[in-house]
Structure 1
């Protein structure tokens, strides 16, 4: 599927956009494409910069993401450069069906949206291009209620439609049942909520119902109630969804049970108790049957392979192997690990029940036509930790969107991390029309939510309820001991306080200078560097370079091509900050390049943007003109882990920082209370973990370290050693695990510990939740205490405030939200108290 969502130019110019007006244009080339428009309906408009006949091409898609044609060249030539520059977003609506008198074109209204500051520029550009812009600009809140007409010309508002779908979902939830896995395959006993989850997964996969928002009409036609699209072809059911149970509730075992049903030879059908959730089935009432197909030679009756593809982050790969060993009968599954050296034969993969691979592996093969993964129509694709595809423009996201599969599952305990836009990628993977097309998503969900329209939030909640199953630890009777989260506020010592105040005051002047000059986004990397150093001082000033003043940038734009010291500073930033991300793919940069304007990108991301430009290439952040000679490879990390350890141990230590002293006191008190207690100390700074080893050893603690520099095998070894009780002899067992927050935030079981210490707050509260729930999950037998260490009167307190805003959005989405980057320009101003 290519819905155009992968184009960088398709992103919104700002969080709040305004309707500038609309342009009338013809959709042409109808005879060359299969897509049809049946009446008044929304259409998708997608840039196609690689079109060999017209570099300004704008494709037109119908509700099924099938191409109808192109916007006529004269209009596309004016709008395409504005789209590519991120200045406008366009949406289309066809007022009536194709004319009987002209079968080669269809009139279309193209609605043009832009940020408030760009309205004048957009109007001038469209006018100079010879187009007529109709209508007046107005606040995006006014465009929240799109109205469509059905065949009886009865006006029906979108929110009425969402309400009806919501009521239908509510009725189905009352009929939730339970399902036992086949004992000949699964040896572990499922808890009640896992049996309910298995029932839900199977019922979704076996569903023959119309997908949500579709209705069958008289005469055998089908209509999408949101877009008014009509078709005589019955839409395929939505055989999949989002399995969004809270972290630590045993989703992996439930999913293995689902795969096990494909192998079950006990009967040709599976009993599903038709009972309400949490209630027992009444005596005498026969169980509801859901038909399943026996696995014969690993193929279904239709000849489609019964192989399940499981995609996960590299750090989680070993966890799936462990779970298979722990929960399934030996030899019951044929498993192939598609990572590292791997087969190129698709037929070889089809011989296995499960193929395990990673997002990075799929991303590396996305451009390879002969990739065996792309040749197979999988029986089922499971995306574990599916929130990692939250950016639809990333290569790994596009790779999973294009997979062929009969059943699709997005599995994540945190589907909404930063805002509602995170859900779009999941819709694209599930191929849930019309929400899998970016223009429909923006019109129906994103724009109303961004505008603060409560109806927009209600729509998002209905969409989540329609596609998801989510149970939380608080509402699920799994017998987990409680988790207590406390915040420990720390006063910085005199020396650290003096240094912090000095750097913060100078940093404020620098940032205010950028704001006054209108160049805050131009200097995004420099500002993040300042914020990073302030956060490091809160932990321990030993994390920062001795010449801290040299890190303060000037008010003017700097050019790394003539300033090698600036290039070196940015390289240090990359090495020190685990949470720095490429602004295009919103993931940690790979094969990192630094532009002459001091911005950091993945080489692949920035190269694609430069190639897609229709005129001179520009930096996506500051709009400075760029050429290949303006891209500089980031210097390799100066120190490996071993060298860092030697450097750290040889550096004369100053007095222990306030935060380290507090941590030592808390760990000592916990040990005095119970010598067998194990603890995990999380930090985003790898150097901080190294700094802690010496004082912890001096205090009599045995430590292990888990960080992003380790191979999957080394991580598995560390976790095994940490879990080892060594016969209960606390003098021989590890009591403290020093863990990188990001490297340990997913797919890792740390239930051997019952104490968690977070040394600094993370931008995204969902990352912290994932880290905590490595400890607080099924298998934990002790009360879990989490302590967050926060420096008073510092940037850390303001990070906490930012977290609270993001948590509110995530909770509202599942409550039955404003999308932003990890750190937006508004966030920066709040963080710096400006």
Structure 2
């Protein structure tokens, strides 16, 4: 039987905040423990029928959270496919992706839920996305979507607006707190410029007014505020020398680049470097070209692996740290790291890793002394605990600062006893290091509203 976790004062405060509201957003910084607060809030309102919508990878984890934080013995149902029906009572956990199944969606709509919990609710930031419409309604007005079947709707996310504050509109509009349309919201709270592709958002304005709008709806606490005893976090920047990549092995299918792959990538690198150097709207530009420079990003990632291994393998052998969490972006980069670190029991997590296998790997990393390295895709950084590690290396950081932060907070969170050291590894003589600086600037922009 799972030992019941006793809530701390600030967790009770968060639970009370949710329980007192039919529409709310718990936006505590990643690592603070939002799920436990939501479970406790369900107890406070006497919820019998609870629907939790989550990323597919954390369905099992949410059932464990109810066992851990609630003394009530509720029936538990995890929906893994469109054929599974929601539980007759108790807790039903379902992934956002399965809402595409019309039969399942209809069965969820037919129920009357005491509480609807939207975990990682930033996944509902796009007003045109099918899952957003399925939950918030076709116009994100909370009139026709799944949320109409729930008495309480609680949103949870440590990154409420991963890119720009316009991503808050769907939440505020569906909750009835901002009745105007999306374009009015952008005009009121976003800076930007007109381009050939429409208005491009670059930042935030009227932050104080936006804070006032969010105050009765959103509760956000930083780890430093509620966890004063949490060890500090330190950041370091390192560069490694690039190593030639076997283009035939990794890029042989890209015939359009053969035999001019390297020349083409050099041109892309130079163009990116020039654009980043200007400094205006850098991240907006990077987002617009992310797909077209995907080959360059992959090449740079692969070119960093040998130099990085030269750094980290001696450290692991010398036991400078016990466990290591590594973040990368591309599958072949992750596989190259796993191969290079096999002697240290390296295991890998990808976005498509099944939930049961994921939990097994996480348990192995936590408890098996021979398993010292966990290598993950940066975007798989939601819903797992890696406090066994106090060293975090980002070999391929995301171009979205919030995704990097969420990944790092898998280690720097409740349960961490040691100072967490985060190292960003850039590629010497490339645009890689410059992009990291631009990502840091973007993080400060979002902090105007949330921190």
Superposed pair shares fold, TM > 0.5: yes
In the TM superposition, what are the counterparts of 1:205-604 in structure 2 within 5 Å?
205=21, 239-263=22-46, 306-329=48-71, 332-343=73-84, 349=87, 351-365=88-102, 371-401=106-136, 402-403=145-146, 404=148, 405-435=150-180, 437-446=181-190, 456-493=206-243, 502-507=263-268, 528=290, 530-541=292-303
Cα distance 1:461–1:448, how it changes in 2: closer, same or farther (>3 A)?
farther
For the Cα contact (< 8 Å) 2:344–2:373, is it kept in 1? yes
For the Cα contact (< 8 Å) 1:434–1:441, is it kept in 2? no
Structure 2: gaps of 5 or more residues: 137-144, 194-199, 247-259, 274-285
Cα distance 1:781–1:447, how it changes in 2: closer, same or farther (>3 A)?
closer
For the Cα contact (< 8 Å) 1:248–1:774, is it kept in 2? yes
Q: Structure 1 residue 773 and structure 2 residue 409: aligned?
A: yes
Write the distance in 1 (CA, Å) between the matches of 2:105 and 2:317: 57
Cα distance 1:689–1:359, how it changes in 2: closer, same or farther (>3 A)?
same
Q: Deviations over 1:436-469 (max 9, x none)?
A: x335434543479989998633322222323211
Cα distance 1:679–1:447, how it changes in 2: closer, same or farther (>3 A)?
closer
Write the distance in 2 (CA, Å) between the matches of 1:452 and 1:673: 44
For the Cα contact (< 8 Å) 1:383–1:410, is it kept in 2? yes
For the Cα contact (< 8 Å) 2:12–2:37, is it kept in 1? yes
Q: Deviations over 1:512-563 (max 9, x none)?
A: 9xxxxxxxxxxx999545522222232225xxxxxxxxxxxxxxxxxxxxxx
Write the distance in 2 (CA, Å) between the matches of 1:447 and 1:751: 38
Q: Deviations over 1:220-268 (max 9, x none)?
A: xxxxxxxxxxxxxxxxxxx2221000111111111111112244xxxxx
For the Cα contact (< 8 Å) 2:19–2:41, is it kept in 1? yes
Spell out structure 1 runs of 4+ moving beyond 6 A.
447-454, 508-512
Cα distance 1:538–1:804, how it changes in 2: closer, same or farther (>3 A)?
same
* Aligned residue number for residue 711 of structure 1: 354
* Aligned residue number for residue 333 of structure 2: 688
Cα distance 1:481–1:406, how it changes in 2: closer, same or farther (>3 A)?
same
SS at match of 1:308: strand
Q: Deviations over 1:603-655 (max 9, x none)?
A: xxxxxxxxxxxxxxxxxxxxxxxxxxxxxxxxxxxxxxxxxxxxxxxxxxxxx
How far apart are residue 760 of structure 1 and its match?
A: 1.5
Write the distance in 2 (CA, Å) between the matches of 1:494 and 1:327: 51
In the TM superposition, what are the counterparts of 1:167-186 in structure 2 within 5 Å?
none
How far apart are residue 747 of structure 1 and its match?
A: 0.6
For the Cα contact (< 8 Å) 2:82–2:98, is it kept in 1? no
| Worse overlay, 447-456 or 482-491 | 447-456
Write the distance in 2 (CA, Å) between the matches of 1:807 and 1:781: 26
How far apart are residue 767 of structure 1 and its match?
A: 0.7
How far apart are residue 665 of structure 1 and its match?
A: 2.1
Cα distance 1:259–1:528, how it changes in 2: closer, same or farther (>3 A)?
closer
* Aligned residue number for residue 280 of structure 2: none
For the Cα contact (< 8 Å) 2:241–2:427, is it kept in 1? yes
Write the distance in 1 (CA, Å) between the matches of 2:177 and 2:330: 39
Cα distance 1:533–1:667, how it changes in 2: closer, same or farther (>3 A)?
same
Write the distance in 2 (CA, Å) between the matches of 1:778 and 1:321: 19
Structure 1: gaps of 5 or more residues: 1-184, 206-238, 264-294, 296-305, 513-523, 542-657, 816-834
SS at match of 2:238: strand
Write the distance in 1 (CA, Å) between the matches of 2:272 and 2:388: 45
Q: Structure 1 residue 796 and structure 2 residue 439: aligned?
A: no
In the TM superposition, what are the counterparts of 1:107-146 in structure 2 within 5 Å?
none
How far apart are residue 359 of structure 1 and its match?
A: 0.7
Structure 1 counterpart of 2:375, from 710, 734, 738: 738
Q: Deviations over 1:373-400 (max 9, x none)?
A: 1123422211100111111111011111
Write the distance in 2 (CA, Å) between the matches of 1:773 and 1:310: 22
Q: Deviations over 1:248-289 (max 9, x none)?
A: 1111111111112244xxxxxxxxxxxxxxxxxxxxxxxxxx
How far apart are residue 342 of structure 1 and its match?
A: 4.1
Write the distance in 1 (CA, Å) between the matches of 2:51 and 2:38: 12
SS at match of 1:779: coil
Cα distance 1:478–1:310, how it changes in 2: closer, same or farther (>3 A)?
farther
Write the distance in 2 (CA, Å) between the matches of 1:535 and 1:454: 29
Write the distance in 2 (CA, Å) between the matches of 1:244 and 1:722: 28
Structure 2 counterpart of 1:753, from 382, 389, 395: 389
Write the distance in 2 (CA, Å) between the matches of 1:538 and 1:746: 25
The structure with the larger Rg is 1
* Aligned residue number for residue 661 of structure 1: 307
SS at match of 2:327: strand
For the Cα contact (< 8 Å) 1:500–1:534, is it kept in 2? no
The one of the two structures with greater contact order (alpha-carbon pairs below 8 A, sep at least 6) is 2
Cα distance 1:448–1:459, how it changes in 2: closer, same or farther (>3 A)?
farther
Cα distance 1:343–1:670, how it changes in 2: closer, same or farther (>3 A)?
closer
* Aligned residue number for residue 194 of structure 1: 11
Q: Deviations over 1:716-748 (max 9, x none)?
A: 1111111114xxxx4xx20111212222x1011
Write the distance in 1 (CA, Å) between the matches of 2:357 and 2:202: 47
* Aligned residue number for residue 36 of structure 1: none
Cα distance 1:454–1:500, how it changes in 2: closer, same or farther (>3 A)?
same
How far apart are residue 312 of structure 1 and its match?
A: 0.6
For the Cα contact (< 8 Å) 2:329–2:378, is it kept in 1? yes
How far apart are residue 189 of structure 1 and its match?
A: 1.2
How far apart are residue 429 of structure 1 and its match?
A: 3.5
SS at match of 1:421: helix
Write the distance in 2 (CA, Å) between the matches of 1:671 and 1:192: 42
Q: How many residues align?
A: 409
For the Cα contact (< 8 Å) 1:448–1:456, is it kept in 2? no
Write the distance in 1 (CA, Å) between the matches of 2:288 and 2:269: 13
Write the distance in 2 (CA, Å) between the matches of 1:353 and 1:315: 21
